[in-house]
Structures are given as C-alpha cells and as structure tokens.
C-alpha cells in the first residue's frame, strides 16, 4: 500500500519540481530584464559623471549590504524554526537581540552615514571657471553660459552642453514654483526654489548625449519638461560656445526671409529673443541658435520642420498650460515660412 502511494505521488513531485524550476527560471529572466534598464541616456546606474559614479557606488554598496543582512535574517529565522529549545535558549536570544538588533545595525548605519557625508565635500567643491545659470520655469529651462573674461552670458534654452573632464558649476533658480534639476547619468538631483539660489558642481567623464528632467511635480505639464544634455570634448565645446555667442544667421532662402518678416509681424518677438534682430522678448526661450538644439518644446519634440509646424499651431494642445499660444489661425504657407526661418537659425 505504501509502495502504491509512493508511485501515485511521484508524478506530483515531478510536476512540483518542474514548477519550481520554471519559477526559478522566470525569476532569473525578470532579473536579467531589470538589469537591462540600468543603462541608457537617463540611467543613474550608468554613470557618465563623477557625481553619478559616486552615487551609483553608494547604491551598490547599500544594495549589497541589504542583501547580506536579508540573507542573515532569513537564515536565522530558518535556524530558529528548525532548532529545538535548549538550556541556553534565553541567553542565545538575548545575544541575538543585542548584536543583531543594536550593535550591528548601529555600526552599519554609522558607517554608511560617515561614508555618504564624506562624499559631499568633493561634490560641492568649486568649478574650473565655467558657470551655467539654469532657471526652471513652467515648463521649460532658461540656460545662460557665463565664462570668465566674457562681458555677457551666452543665452540658450532647453539644452545644456558640458565639456568633458571639467568641473562646471550650475547655478539653479526658479521664478515660479519648485522644480528639481536632475541629469541622472551625470550628477544628483538638486531642487530649484523660488527666492533661493542652489548650486551643483558636475564633472562629466565621457562624451555623449544624455537626458535631464524636472524631478519635482511643478504643474500640469510637469511630465513634459525635459532637456537634452551633450557632453563634448573641451576644444569642441569652446568652438561651439564661441559660435553660440554670435548673432543669428541671416535667412538663407526666400521662404525663410518671408518667415523672418512674419515672425516679427505676428508678435513672436514680444516673447522670444533672436540676437541680431529686433526680437528681444524674454518671456519665452531664446531662439538665436534654435536649429542647433536636439529637441523642441523642452525635450518633447524632435527638432525638425514637421515638429516646428506642429508646435507653432498646436502648442496649447501639446503642452497644456504653456504660455505659448497656438497660432493655428495662420495660413498654412505662413506657418511653413516661419518654420523655415526657425529651421535656419543655426
């Protein structure tokens, strides 16, 4: 009878073992999929800057420590469940409470706190001369490059360019609500608070294109407030900055020339500045070298003719609450001409 029962239960054991193997394989697969998310232009675990590298190191150390503590706690729980009470059970329990509940946690937390605070001194050291003022606004980014020896800052918007290997000081402010400036691959997050100036020193370690975001809820288009970041070799950065300091390029085609006139006639210059022209507005982004930027509308549209037309005619739909009005009432050829003009502002 016992033999028959064992034979009957054998398929169940095989099925249970198969389920456990499949569960283990599924967990391994999910873990591998999760690890693929650790890279990319917006990953804090794929550092391209000194600050991000330090933060990633702290994360991995804390993760490893947490995993070790979890294994020890589970191991003790299994041991306690399977062992029989002995004469020294009370003494053992007291020792576990003392060491596991007081001494070890205190030592681990004190060590992590000391190490974490030690990281801050280098991260807050002064930059190498270049200073970039960034103002978070609803819902875009005002960017000014301040170089020693230059009389006036170089204005830009919705994009930050950095020289590789140099410490750059970012001066962070906001005129409206609290925003948070964050380039996950390069440095940590710092709040931008109205009435207060915060500073962040970054040191990119490799070139490439990265993505920054606002990490503090700031209104209805908060999720549509990103910016592009490009890290360049120092010589290329100096050349680019010199070009950015120049005025706007002249209209290169008849259509663009018409667009330049229409840009002025419909009042775009009341909100936007284009250096070298009559447009001197300061409400919206500076458009002097718009065509050099990777994206439009604070990182949410590609910088091409089609997207320019969409943004001009549907701004309030694309970014709800934006101060940019939609000019859908303009004739199609007028919109195309304005887009052609903006597309040539290199």
CB 297, CB 303: distance < 8 Å: no
Verify that 204 and 271 share a domain, yes or no.
no
Reply yes or no on whether the pLDDT at 2 is more than 50: no
Question: 27 pLDDT exceeds 70?
Answer: no
Distance CA 51, CA 55 (A): 6
The reply to whether 8 falls in a domain is: no
Which of 260, 259, 280, 277 has its CA nearest to residue 269? 280
Residue 64 has pLDDT above 60, yes or no: yes
Phi, psi of 160, rounded to the nearest 5 degrees: -125, 130
Q: How far is 179 from 218, CA to CA, in rounded Å?
A: 6
Percent of the chain at pLDDT > 90 equals 57
Measured at the alpha carbon of residue 198, what is the angle toward residues 184 and 275, in degrees to the nearest 5? 85
Q: Quick one: pLDDT at residue 15?
A: 54
118 plus 142 within the same structural domain = no
Asked if 312 and 259 count as a contact pair (C-beta separation under 8 A), the reply is no
Q: Assess whether 135 and 237 both reside in one domain.
A: yes
Residue of higher predicted confidence among 104 and 206? 206
Q: Are residues 278 and 333 in the same domain?
A: yes
Q: How many CB atoms lie within 10 A of CB 195?
A: 7
- Separation between Cα atoms, residue 120 and residue 51, nearest integer Å: 9
Residue 338 lies in a domain: yes
Q: Are residues 275 and 316 in the same domain?
A: yes
pLDDT computed for residue 147 by the predictor: 84
Residue 249 lies in a domain: no
What confidence category does residue 35 fall into, taking pLDDT thresholds of 50, 70 and 90?
Answer: low
Count of alpha carbons within 13 angstroms of residue 66, beta-carbon side: 6
User: In the numeric block, which tokens belong to residue 252?
Assistant: 């290169």
Q: Say if 273 falls within a structural domain.
A: yes
29 assigned to some structural domain = no
- Phi, psi for residue 237 in degrees, rounded to 5: -65, -45
Of the listed ranges 144-148, 192-196, 313-317, the least confidently predicted one is: 144-148
For residue 334, what are its two tokens?
A: 């007028």
pLDDT of residue 22: 57
Are 137 and 226 within one domain?
Answer: yes
| Per-residue model confidence (pLDDT) at position 65 | 81
Neighbours of 111 (CB within 10 A): 12
Q: What value does the mean pLDDT take over residues 162-176? A: 94
- The parent domain of residue 264 ranges over 254-343
- Of 81, 96, 123, the one marking the end of a domain is 123
Percent residues over pLDDT 70 in the chain: 87
Query: Is the domain of 168 the same as that of 147?
Result: yes
The answer to the question of residue 26 being in a domain is no
Q: Report pLDDT for 193.
A: 96
The stretch 18-27 carries a mean pLDDT of 55
pLDDT tens for 328-343 read 899 999 999 999 999 9
How many angstroms separate the CA atoms of 311 and 317, rounded?
9
Query: 202, 221, 244: which is the final residue of a domain?
Result: 244
- Are residues 186 and 205 located together in one domain of the fold? yes
Question: By three-state DSSP, how is residue 155 classified?
Answer: strand
Q: What is the mean pLDDT of the chain?
A: 86
Q: How far apart are the two ends of the chain, measured CA to CA in Å?
A: 89
> Which of the four pLDDT bands, split at 50, 70 and 90, describes residue 120?
confident
Phi, psi (degrees; rounded to nearest 5) at 245: -75, -15
Q: Are residues 172 and 268 in the same domain?
A: no
Let me know if residue 303 belongs to a domain. Answer: yes
- Please tell me whether residues 71 and 110 are part of one structural domain: yes
Q: Are 141 and 217 in contact (CB under 8 A)?
A: no
> What local confidence, expressed as pLDDT, does residue 112 receive?
82
CATH number at residue 157: 2.60.40.420
Of 93, 123, 153, the position where a domain reaches its end is 123
- Which tokens is 162 given? 């950095």
Q: Is the peptide bond before 145 cis (omega within 30 degrees of 0)?
A: no
What is the count of structural domains for the chain? Answer: 3
Same structural domain, 116 and 135: no
Of 161 and 15, the one with more pLDDT: 161
Per-residue pLDDT, 36: 55
**Is the pLDDT at 77 greater than 60, yes or no?**
yes
Structural domain contains residue 38: no
At residue 128, the pLDDT reads 73
Question: Are residue 238 and residue 180 in the same domain, yes or no?
Answer: yes
């Amino acid at each position: 009878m016992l033999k028959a029962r064992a034979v009957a239960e054998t398929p169940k054991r095989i099925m249970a073992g198969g389920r456990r193997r499949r569960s283990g394989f599924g967990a391994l697969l999910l873990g591998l999929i999760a690890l693929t998310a650790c890279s990319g232009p917006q990953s804090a675990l794929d550092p391209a800057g000194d600050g991000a590298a330090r933060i990633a190191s702290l994360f991995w150390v804390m993760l490893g420590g947490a995993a070790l503590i979890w294994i020890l706690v589970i191991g003790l729980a299994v041991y306690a469940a399977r062992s029989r009470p002995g004469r020294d059970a009370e003494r053992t329990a007291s020792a576990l409470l003392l060491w596991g509940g007081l001494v070890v946690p205190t030592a681990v937390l004190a060590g992590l706190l000391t190490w974490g605070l030690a990281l801050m001194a280098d991260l807050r050291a002064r930059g190498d001369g270049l200073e970039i003022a960034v103002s978070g606004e609803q819902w875009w980014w005002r960017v000014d490059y301040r170089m020693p020896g230059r009389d006036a800052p170089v204005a830009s918007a919705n994009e930050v360019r950095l020289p590789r290997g140099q410490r750059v000081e970012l001066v962070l402010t906001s005129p409206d609500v609290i925003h948070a400036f964050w380039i996950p691959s390069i440095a940590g997050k710092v709040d931008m608070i109205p009435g207060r100036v915060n500073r962040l020193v970054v040191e990119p370690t490799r070139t490439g294109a990265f993505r920054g975001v606002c990490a503090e809820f700031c209104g209805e288009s908060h999720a549509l407030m990103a910016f592009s970041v490009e890290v360049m070799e120092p010589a290329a950065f100096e050349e680019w900055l010199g070009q950015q300091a120049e005025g706007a390029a002249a209209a290169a085609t008849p259509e663009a020339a018409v667009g330049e006139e229409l840009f002025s006639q419909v009042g775009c210059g009341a909100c936007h500045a284009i250096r070298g022209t009559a447009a001197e507005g300061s409400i919206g982004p500076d458009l002097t070298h718009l065509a050099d930027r990777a994206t439009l509308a604070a990182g949410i549209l590609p910088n091409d003719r089609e997207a320019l037309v969409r943004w001009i005619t549907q701004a309030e739909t694309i970014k709800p609450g934006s101060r940019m009005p939609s000019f859908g009432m303009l004739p199609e050829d007028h919109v195309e001409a304005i887009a052609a003009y903006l597309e040539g502002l290199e």
